[in-house]
């Protein structure tokens, strides 16, 4: 079909890159923002702007907070009919479902604590399933008070899931599209290197003064090659994290018998009961178990804080408490879990040393999810992610620059469409993000369902930026440049500055205070990043405006038009 191997790789790189580059742009950009997801949360929820807290006392703080949890209405409406067996009586009313599982999760960057409960469906169709209706909340660990539930943690509940699911939950379609895009990213990197062959030279080649098309290609190669291991690693581990559950769930399909037998063997070996015994039992002091877990970690020379706490089969003789260590001080996402018998507090099991495969897997996923405490490395992650964005964006621009003159002659709209989509997913994505942050500060605090409104504004603004790019793009089909690029750059600068000002006005946290008077780096960092974005967007807008002016002068000269075409 293709004349040679390199041509087939070039075709693959160009067309798959074009088709899925838009998705990859979202993955890389919101992935980069997710490095500081907790910091965006603080910015968006001013009442949670206090110092990170360790896991609070269970007996004093967590137990009453868990007791206040109720099964989520939407979860109940959706899953109760699927789990409950009508042959065994009427479904248990939502508020009468008994809790079966409690969990609490925190990291070294969390002032507030995420907690949740799994409520048991008493008469399920299939006893072997988990049969849980969930109820989650976020609490202030200092008091146990719940943080308002209809607010959105913009960093960890919007930007973060956006980068792996596009926040499109229907049939998990978003997650599948991102998975395919991840595979295509790996393919694009390898095929890109094959296309070029001069990989070493690409490190040092950038000719900004050359023809736009040439500089774009240099920048595309440079940003791709300089961070090549980073791009490859994140695409690979990103797919790997979801591979067993979404993409290749062999253990739930053809190998389910093998998997299920392993579960039974594992439960016997670990001594951690898979099912409830059906015999009521009290809960011993969890605080004592937490202290014992910390003591054992310290004895292994791994002193640390508790990151994750889970109680299984609550109120049952088979109940047990699992305590996991927070991974703040190492790359590998290790739990060093210690499991206690819930009714007595005796240690049932300490996780044995990991096998090499588990160790490798924990290292790879840990390096992707970066729970460790290392601010320099975090910023390098952000830069790597933005380099990925630059690589993808210059790929789009190169595609357009290369074709638009030919398309203009042939009367084709191809370059115009690709260019408009590129505007929408490069500058438009920033406009939507900033629009959401600004809306977060301007919408009244008391507004019911504030988080839902922020999401609607995010999609609305993004859609508008695509429409703007499409409407302003007619000039591309004549071989020119879309003015939407610079107009949206101006919008980015304006929105970013407005967001910083709105934060100051609505919370009183201006940079002088968050940097010097009462340092609070989470908010200062977001504000400073917003201002940096504003400056860069202004510079870009000015460069584009000057170039457009030059182009107008050139095209007025009919002789020069030939050169330009």
In three-state form (DSSP H/G/I as H, E/B as E, the rest C), the secondary structure along 456-505 is: HHHHHHHHHHHHHHHHHHHHHHHCCCCCHHHHHHHHHHHHHHHHHHHHHH
Q: Which is nearer to another protein, 343 or 481 (CB)?
A: 481
Q: Are 531 and 500 in contact (CB under 8 A)?
A: yes
The reply on whether position 3 binds another protein by CB under 8 A is: yes
The reply on whether position 262 binds another protein by CB under 8 A is: yes
Residues 277-336 that bind another protein (CB under 8 A): none
Window of 137-145, 256-264, 303-311, 544-552 that interacts with another protein by CB under 8 A: 256-264
**How far, in Å, CA of 188 to CA of 16, rounded?**
8
Two tokens, residue 209: 């003064």
- At its nearest, how many Å lie between another protein and the CB of residue 546? 23
How many helices and strands, by DSSP H and E, does the chain display?
Answer: 19, 7
Separation of CA 393 from chain center:
20
Q: Which is nearer to another protein, 6 or 547 (CB)?
A: 6
- At its nearest, how many Å lie between another protein and the CB of residue 79? 27
Q: Which is nearer to another protein, 240 or 348 (CB)?
A: 240
Give the number of C-alpha atoms closer than 13 A to the C-alpha of residue 52, restricted to the C-beta side. 16
Window of 147-155, 189-197, 470-478, 524-532 that interacts with another protein by CB under 8 A: 189-197
The reply on whether position 80 binds another protein by CB under 8 A is: no
**How far, in Å, CA of 387 to CA of 539, rounded?**
18
Q: Are 336 and 297 in contact (CB under 8 A)?
A: yes
Query: Applying CB under 8 A, which of residues 9, 35, 321, 397 lies at the interface with another protein?
Result: 9
Burial class (CB in 10 A: 0-12, 13-18, 19+), 334: buried
- At its nearest, how many Å lie between another protein and the CB of residue 191? 6
The reply on whether position 11 binds another protein by CB under 8 A is: yes
DSSP codes joined into one string, 505-529: HHH---HHIIIIIS--HHHHHHHHH
The reply on whether position 251 binds another protein by CB under 8 A is: yes
Two tokens, residue 317: 């003789």
The reply on whether position 361 binds another protein by CB under 8 A is: yes
**How far, in Å, CA of 37 to CA of 160, rounded?**
7
The reply on whether position 217 binds another protein by CB under 8 A is: yes
Separation of CA 510 from chain center:
27
The reply on whether position 186 binds another protein by CB under 8 A is: yes
- At its nearest, how many Å lie between another protein and the CB of residue 205? 11
- At its nearest, how many Å lie between another protein and the CB of residue 253? 8
Query: Applying CB under 8 A, which of residues 211, 275, 344, 532 lies at the interface with another protein?
Result: 211
Q: Which residues bind another protein (CB under 8 A)?
A: 1-12, 14, 16, 180, 183-184, 186-187, 190-191, 195-196, 211, 213-214, 217, 236, 239-240, 243-244, 247-248, 250-251, 253-255, 257-259, 261-262, 355, 357-358, 361, 402-403, 405-406, 565
């Amino acid at each position: 079909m293709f004349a040679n191997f390199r041509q087939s790789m070039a075709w693959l790189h160009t067309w798959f890159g074009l088709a899925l580059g838009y998705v990859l742009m979202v993955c890389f950009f919101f992935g980069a923002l997710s490095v500081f997801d907790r910091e965006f949360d603080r910015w968006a929820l001013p009442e949670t702007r206090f110092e990170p807290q360790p896991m609070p006392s269970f007996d004093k703080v967590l137990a009453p907070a868990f007791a206040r949890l109720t099964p989520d209405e939407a979860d109940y409406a959706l899953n109760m009919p699927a789990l409950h067996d009508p042959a065994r009586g009427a479904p248990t009313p939502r508020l009468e479902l008994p809790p079966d599982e409690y969990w609490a999760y925190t990291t070294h960057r969390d002032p507030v604590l995420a907690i949740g409960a799994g409520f048991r469906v008493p008469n399920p169709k299939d006893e072997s399933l988990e049969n849980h209706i969930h109820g989650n909340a976020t609490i202030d660990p200092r008091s146990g008070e719940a943080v308002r539930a209809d607010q959105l943690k913009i960093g960890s509940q919007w930007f973060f899931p956006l980068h792996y699911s596009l926040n499109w939950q229907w049939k998990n379609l978003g997650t599948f599209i991102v998975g395919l895009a991840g595979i295509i990213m790996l393919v694009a990197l390898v095929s890109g290197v094959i296309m070029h062959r001069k990989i070493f030279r690409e490190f040092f080649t950038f000719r900004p003064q050359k023809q736009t098309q040439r500089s774009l290609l240099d920048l595309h190669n440079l940003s791709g090659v300089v961070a090549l291991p980073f791009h490859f690693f994140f695409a690979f581990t990103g797919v790997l994290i979801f591979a067993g559950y979404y993409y290749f769930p062999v253990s739930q399909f053809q190998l389910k018998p093998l998997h299920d037998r392993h579960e039974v063997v594992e439960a016997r070996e670990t001594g951690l009961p898979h099912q409830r015994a059906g015999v009521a039992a009290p809960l011993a002091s969890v605080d004592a178990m937490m202290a014992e877990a910390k003591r054992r970690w310290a004895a292994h020379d791994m002193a640390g804080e508790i990151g994750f706490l889970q109680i299984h089969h609550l109120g049952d003789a088979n109940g047990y408490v699992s305590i996991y260590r927070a991974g703040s001080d190492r790359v590998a996402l290790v739990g060093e879990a210690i499991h206690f018998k819930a009714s007595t507090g005796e240690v049932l099991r300490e996780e044995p040393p990991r096998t090499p495969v588990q160790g490798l897997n924990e290292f790879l996923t840990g390096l992707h999810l970066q729970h460790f405490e290392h601010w320099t490395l975090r910023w390098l992650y952000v830069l790597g992610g933005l380099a990925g964005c630059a690589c993808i964006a210059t790929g789009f621009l190169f595609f357009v620059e290369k074709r638009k003159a030919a398309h203009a002659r042939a009367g084709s709209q191809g370059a115009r469409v690709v260019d408009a989509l590129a505007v929408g997913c490069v500058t438009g994505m920033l406009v939507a993000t900033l629009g959401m942050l600004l809306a977060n500060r301007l919408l009244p605090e008391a507004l019911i369902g504030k988080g839902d409104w922020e999401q609607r504004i995010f999609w609305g603004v993004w859609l508008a930026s695509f429409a703007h790019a499409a409407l302003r793009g007619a000039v591309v089909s004549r071989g020119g440049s879309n003015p939407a690029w610079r107009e949206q750059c101006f919008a980015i600068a304006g929105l970013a500055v407005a967001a910083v000002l709105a934060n100051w006005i609505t919370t009183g946290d201006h940079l002088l205070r968050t940097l010097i008077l009462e340092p609070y780096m989470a908010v200062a960092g977001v504000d400073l990043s917003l201002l940096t974005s504003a400056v860069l967007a202004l510079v870009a807008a000015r460069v584009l405006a000057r170039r457009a002016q030059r182009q107008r002068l050139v095209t007025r000269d009919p002789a020069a038009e030939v050169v330009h075409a």
